[in-house]
Amino acid sequence: MASRVMPTALFHASLPSKPKPFASARTGRVRSGSLTCKALSESSPDPTVYRGVYGPWTVDPADVREVILYRSGLVTAATSFVIASSTAFLPEESWVSEIIRQNLDLLYTLGAGGLGLSLLLIHIYVTEIKRTLQALWALGVVGSLATYVCLAQPSGENLVQYVVDNSTAVWFVGPLFAALTGLVFKEGLCYGKLEAGILTFIIPTVLLGHLTGLMDDGVKATLLGFWMALFVIFAGRKFTQPIKDDIGDKSIFMFNSLPEEEKQALVKNLELEKNRN
């Protein structure tokens, strides 16, 4: 490997010999068994080279921006949810409770938007799973809008209060929370986060309990309190993780973006390298 490389130069890295780091999961092509990608910028926020399944890679500024936006979306969703849900524990005559109730639709919109941003930027190796979570989010948004326009507004209620008073409305808004459940399940599975694992069970339990009417208000309030606390912990702890954790193995995402013939060429080179060793 050359000792110095200009930041804007392009190079060809032969995988069987000395593969160069991926500068971005969105750049790079395999040409006749070699990988083409942009050289690393000297201003790279993390000069560490990580070994991926399909080759080395590094964290670039675009990766950092995506991860920060992903985590910010989670914080927005958690903050909106906690503020809106706090009305279940505040005195009804409280001026704070009154202000929150007047802005429940805004809080719901902000929370759904934050979740949508995170689902747009989330890194999941299996594209079909990511698309499913995004589809659930979209279905939940459409259902929420339809419930608000066709049911809540004619009744003179905001969306959140209407769902609280009419449990069958969970059918319409539920997909949004199913998408959230999928996200926290992924986080718990990938990083072993206890709070995410518990949320995976609490979220559907509360919704199903409300939908079926089999859960009394005391139990729902208790589980809601746990949901609020764990959601805050979950979103806050995301900022304690290294940026690379939320990126995953960038070489896999780059590989998945290649045309089929280029994938085959890359796999063939990797097999040759393995046999040589």
Q: What is the pTM of this model?
A: 0.81
146 contacts 154 by C-beta, under 8 angstroms: no
Domain ranges of the chain: 10-60+248-269, 63-240
Q: Over its length of 277 residues, how does the chain's per-residue pLDDT go in tens digits?
A: 333 333 333 223 333 334 444 444 444 444 434 343 333 434 455 578 888 888 888 898 999 999 999 999 999 999 999 999 999 999 988 999 999 999 999 999 999 999 999 999 999 999 999 999 999 999 999 999 999 999 999 999 999 999 999 999 999 999 999 999 999 999 999 999 999 999 999 999 999 999 999 999 999 999 999 999 999 999 999 999 999 999 988 888 888 888 888 888 888 888 887 777 6
